[in-house]
Structures are given as structure tokens and as C-alpha cells.
Chain A
Amino acid sequence: MDATAKSFKDQAKDGLENATLQDALGKLGFGFPLLRQMAADGLPEFDALRDQGRDIKNHVLEHLDYYLERFEEQVTGHGGQVHWCPTDGDARDAILKICQEARAKTVTKGKSMVTEEIAINAHLEAHGIKAIETDLGEYIIQLRNEPPSHIVGPAIHLNKEQIAGTFRSHHKELDPDRSLEEVPALVREAREVLRQKYIDADVGITGANFLVAETGSSIIVTNEGNGDLSQSLPRIHIVVASIEKVVPTLEDACTFLRLLARSATGQEFSAYTTFSTGPKRPDDPDGPEQYHVILLDNGRSDLLGTEFQDVLRCIRCGACMNHCPVYTSVGGHAYGSVYPGPIGSVLTPALAGIDQSHHLPNASTFCGKCEEVCPMRIPLPKMMRYWRERAFDQGQDPVAARWALAFWATAARWPALYHFGANVMTRLLHFMGKREGHLVRLPFAGGWTRHRDFPTPERATFQSQWRKRL
């Protein structure tokens, strides 16, 4: 998939014209908000928890170096190893090195957005190591060679018929006459195919929803149990996490756990919440022999101390996209980036550069729903505006739009001239459209009239009528 954030408009159009996607988005935009609201209403202290979560994250971001070093001390103390990776390339190299030293042939993976960010699968494949996604959604899109379209539900853009087709074309060894019409049959088939792969894998890679500085633990939150199998069956467990995932204590982690599932899927708690602390100890019946943590920066520390720092509070629940009128219209692939929706519109410019992604922060109505539902109270619209300012300063937006804005802004700064010109325009438009009440076509406003009529103005501006009244 060669989607980039630069071609947002074309990709959005594809999304708008994709009937299957529209059907899926309709369900998502209705279902998830409803479930989240019910979960929030069911917990009287939900908003107080959000404040608490925000405050903990703010504290951590002010002392990030301290908590990361505490975390490393704990991991090392338990016999694990932390790899500090300033860039995505460093993370890929570190992971590959661990896999090569273990002579790994296959790697099973739990669901992890940060491994999507560093594109680890292609890197391992290029070096002869097969990476197998084990989260059902991730497994499906891996077979289809597609990027995720949602950070929680990566295959949310597909319906069950498409998935059945994908399974039939990839699971050739299975009975071609089997029934794959119902969801449980699809789940069962994926489970059967994946089961042996866990056992065969040399390395298991997972992400982390949280890293606990106090104990050196990594926490994953899943509903399928695949992450647990990925991290406990292979000889080596690699946790890949970005630096802002660290939280001070286990108790703090619990604050976030109470917010995460409620915000994401409306569950009180996900089916599995698994803590990993170091490799197998002498008395443990099982567990990995090696425990590695890849700590990825990839531009995040550059955001500290800037107007974008707050975005590092994100716990990747996906509530912002579930509630976003733009995301639920165009789907995740339109964003051409690993992180879609409002959070992606703020994060992608930081990771890829605003010159590559100026559409993303601009393609928002600023309705504010994302900020309203964000469990970490990240002021996403405000940050999108800050990106717009940077894009504007760099001249990223189209020339015609800049000229129109400059013309309008100049007029708006000369009130007498503005009122005169406004009245001339209003009178003209009134004359053109008073009989119908609306204009079907309007010069320089094709963006409006392509889809809607333009209501005819009244006979003269308010200001001109008011002056006559005085």
C-alpha cells in the first residue's frame, strides 16, 4: 500500500465511494460511541479518573528521563535488557540483531501500533525471518497486505465476506467446502491456523500499553489472548514500546486501565490484562529465556517542552476516531499514516514532518468531539491548529487558498471598505438568487455548490440596514 498523508484528498474520495467501508463506518460511528457512553455513565468517577490520568501523564512527561531510567534499572534487575532507540531504524536494527543472534526463523507478534510505525515486519522478511501477526484483525490485514485502518480494530474496514474470501485464498490446505459464513467459524479457523505458529516461533514480539517504572513490568491489554501466547511461548520476548508509555507505579497503571477499555470498546476491562516482568526465573514453570524492551523515541522527545507535548499523554484507545465525523466518513486508510483520526492528525506531522502531512491537521471541522471524549483530555483541535500555523508559515497550503485568505483578511482590516464591498456583494447575490431563494452555482464557490445550494442573502447587509435605522 503506497498511501501517504499527502494524498489525503484522493484517498478520502476512495473511502467515500467504498460502499463496504461506508457500511462498516456507519456501524462503528454508532456502536462505539454508544458503548463508551454507557461505560462512562456506569462509573461515577469516570471524569475524575480522566483528570487523574491526565495529571499522572503530565507528571511523567515532566520527569520522563527519571522514570525511564528507573524502568531500565528494574528491567535489568530482573535479568532483562533495555535497548534505547532514538529512531525507527535503530529499533529495527536492534530487533533484527536479537532475532539473528537467536537464529530465529519465525516471530509471532501481538498487536502493536508501534511495530507498525517502525515497519518491522517488512524489515524482518527482508532478512529471511517470517513475522506472523496473531491478533485476528492484524492477521487478516497481514494476509491482505493492507495497513491497519483503526488503532484498536485494524481490520474494521472489512466485512465478514471479504475476510472469508481472504481465508479461502490463503488457507489452501483446508477443506475448500468448509462453511465460513459466520464470524465464529472465521475466528475458529484463524485460531487453528495460528496455534502451531506460536509453538514454532523462536521470538515473540508484543507492544506495551504501559511500562511500569516501579517494577520494570510491561502491560498488554487484549481481548483475544494472542498477545499472552506470543510473549510466553517463544524463547525470547521482545517488547516494543515508545518512551511515553512509562507510568510511575502499578497503582498509576490501574488508573489508566480503568480508563482504557471503557474509552476504547466500552468494556469495563478487556478480557486479558497481562503483566510481564523480566525473563523466566529459576522457579517459574515457564516463560521466555530472554526479555528485551525496545524503547523507541522516533521524534517524541522533540515534542517535550513544545505546544505539542500533551499529545504524548495518548493511551491509544481510539475514542477520538470512533467519534470523529471525518474519520467515520472516510475511514482510516485515507490518512495514509499508521495513526489515523484526530490523534494521527496531531501525531503524524510530528513523526513524518508537516510538509508530508499538512492535510491531516487541516482536514478537521474542529467540532471538538475528540477532545470531549479523550480519556487523557488531550486538546486535539488546538494542536491541529498549531500544526496549521506551522503549515501556513511554511506555505504548505494551496496558493489559491492563500490568496483568497489574504484578500479577505486585508478587506477585514479596513472596516469602512469592508462594509462597502460586502454590501455590493450581498446586493448582487440577492439580485441573482432572490426568486429561487438559493443559488445552484456560484463562481469561486464550487466547493460549496457541488454538493449544496447556496441560500440567497437578504437584500442588503446588516450594517447598511442598521445605518439607515439610526
Chain B
Amino acid sequence: MTSSDDLPPGDAAPAEKRANVALFVTCLVDLFRPSIGFATVKLLEEAGLRVSVPQGQTCCGQPAYNSGDRKNAMAIAKQTITALEPFDYVVAPSGSCAAMISAHYPDLMRADIQWSKRARAVAMKTFEITQFLVDVLKVEKVDARFEEDVVYHDSCSGLRELKIKSQPRKLLSSVDGLHFKELMDEEGCCGFGGTFCVKYSDVSNKIVDRKTQAIEASGAETLIAGDLGCLMNMAGKLSRAGSSVRVRHVAEVLAGMTDGPAIGEPQPDE
């Protein structure tokens, strides 16, 4: 990976001067696909940063926040802010969780002056992984190989709340062998919506069905996106429909960690 040598102090700097990054791994990655977390760590370490995984983190609180349970959302947000505030940066392999911290925590905490201040401070240094690599570290390209035709799905939160659009495409286009196919309505929602997909299962199914048909029609071999919730939703639907399209998180592809099974593929014993 090549990066410009200005901000933040990268691998050229002595270890103690390197920026300290907290990985906010996200509950879904923690539970269901740790390899995305390790891929993110690899990308950050290769950029010369020191990566920590604060143990005080669990989930960003979005399920409570979006269910109208403000009290629990605030309690979880306080815990997360406390765990993340000692670091120079916070990076998450998810536009949705990064946006929860950077776009929603300040609003959630607005009634409490002290917490609101702390929420804003953490919000300002929290980024989604491709956004962090491109916009903060000024990374131009990655050292990875992935010889497949792919489509990229823009997950809603990252796209509309964090304006993540060009960053993943810029990095992916530097991956050797990777070829983009056109995906119709690539900015259209996949129907995941957190608890929406189980609360309004039939409606969600219709939306994801439309999405996976577009993915099938694109002729791509692999679907890539930046949010595991959306990826599991689309992977689950593709699998149920008997599709051969594989599904991977953008961090796995950028880190060159694509030897293991894709999301929803059989996992051989180690």
C-alpha cells in the first residue's frame, strides 16, 4: 500500500509517534465474519498505524436507537464513546456503524452538554475504512489481487450519511485483475434496514429480491459492499435463490484476504 507521507504519521515515523487507531469492529463483524475485522487491521497496519481493539466496545447501539429506545441507545453510546475517546482515530468496517457514531451520536446526546461534547469529539475522528484510507491517509492504491468480475453495492448509510461513493471504487480499481461490471440501481436499498428485515420480513424480501435479480443480471462473479448487514442479507437471498454469485466485504478484497470461503460458503475444518 502506498500513501502520502503527511498526515497522520505513518510507517516512516517511530513507533511511539504513529497514530493510534481504535478498530470499532462492529457487532456483526465480531459475531459473524471476523475475517473482515482482520482485513481491516491489516489495511491499517500496512498504512503504518498502531491498531487497538478496545474491549469496552460491543455494538454502536443502532438497534435500540432505530427502535425508538433512546435510553438504551444513550447508555450504549456512552460506553462506546468512553471506549473510543482515548484514540487518535476510530475506524469501522461499516458505513452504517461509522455513521451512527459520527452522524448520530452528537444528535442522540444533544440534551447533555458534557456528553454532547464528548460525542462530537469522537464523531470527528470516526471513519469508515475506505473513507479513512482515501480521505484521511490519502491512499491511492492497494497491493492486492482479485481476478473476478465484480459489482459494488453502495450501502445506504455510508452513501447518504457519509458520502462514501468514490473511495471504495478508487481502491478497488487498483486491485490487480478486478473488473467492474455495471449494477443497475447500485444506490438502491437492499432491504436490510437492521431490525426492519425481520420485523417486516415480506417487504424486505421484495426489496432484496429486486436487488439480487439486478446482481444476477449484471453478470458479476462477486458482489462487494462495505456493510456486513447488507452483505448477509444479499448473500442469504442469493443463496436461497441458488445463485452462484459470491459475496465479500470490500476490506477483504482490498487486504487481499480472499482465499477463504466467501460469505455463506461452506467452511472446511481447519
Number of interchain pairs (Cβ within 8 Å): 217
Q: How far is the CB of A266 from chain B (nearest CB, A)?
A: 17
Q: Is the CB of A390 within 8 A of B236?
A: no
Q: How far is the CB of A309 from chain B (nearest CB, A)?
A: 16
Q: Which residues of A contact B201 (CB under 8 A)?
A: 446-448, 450-451
Within 8 A of B (CB), among A381-400: 382, 385, 387-393, 397
Q: How far is the CA of A366 from the CA of B189 in the complex (A)?
A: 9
Chain A interface secondary structure, helix, strand, loop or mixed?
Answer: helix
Most A C-beta atoms less than 10 A away, residue of B63, B72, B75, B192? B72
Q: How far is the CA of A462 from the CA of B33 in the complex (A)?
A: 8
Q: How far is the CA of A391 from the CA of B67 in the complex (A)?
A: 9
Most B C-beta atoms less than 10 A away, residue of A363, A455, A456? A455
Q: How far is the CA of A15 from the CA of B201 in the complex (A)?
A: 14
Q: Is the CB of A363 within 8 A of B200?
A: yes
Answer whether residue A422 sits at the interface, using C-beta atoms and an 8 A cutoff. yes
Q: Which residue of B lies closest to A26 (CB)?
A: B210
Q: Is the CB of A325 within 8 A of B189?
A: yes
B14-22, B119-127, B218-226, B260-268 - interface stretch: B260-268
Q: Is the CB of A367 within 8 A of B76?
A: no
B4-12, B24-32, B135-143, B168-176 - interface stretch: B24-32
Answer whether residue B70 sits at the interface, using C-beta atoms and an 8 A cutoff. yes
Q: Is the CB of A13 within 8 A of B68?
A: no
Answer whether residue A454 sits at the interface, using C-beta atoms and an 8 A cutoff. yes
Q: Is the CB of A405 within 8 A of B264?
A: no
Q: Is the CB of A330 within 8 A of B203?
A: yes
Answer whether residue A255 sits at the interface, using C-beta atoms and an 8 A cutoff. no
Bitwise interface map of A from 436 to 448 toward B, beta carbon under 8 Å scored 1, else 0: 1110000001111
Answer whether residue A371 sits at the interface, using C-beta atoms and an 8 A cutoff. yes
Q: Which residues of B contact A389 (CB under 8 A)?
A: 68-70
29 interchain pairs, CB-CB under 8 A? A9-B200, A365-B193, A366-B157, A366-B194, A367-B189, A369-B189, A371-B160, A389-B68, A389-B69, A389-B70, A401-B67, A401-B195, A408-B63, A409-B76, A412-B61, A415-B55, A434-B267, A435-B267, A438-B264, A445-B198, A453-B239, A455-B33, A455-B239, A455-B264, A458-B33, A462-B38, A463-B25, A465-B34, A466-B53
**CB within 8 Å of B: which residues of A?**
9, 12-13, 16, 325-326, 329-330, 362-369, 371-372, 382, 385, 387-393, 397, 401, 405-406, 408-409, 411-413, 415-416, 418-419, 422, 425-426, 430, 434-438, 445-448, 450-463, 465-466
**CB within 8 Å of A: which residues of B?**
25, 27, 29-35, 37-38, 53, 55-59, 61, 63-70, 72, 75-76, 79, 107, 156-157, 159-161, 187-189, 191-208, 210, 232-233, 235-237, 239-240, 261, 263-267, 269-270
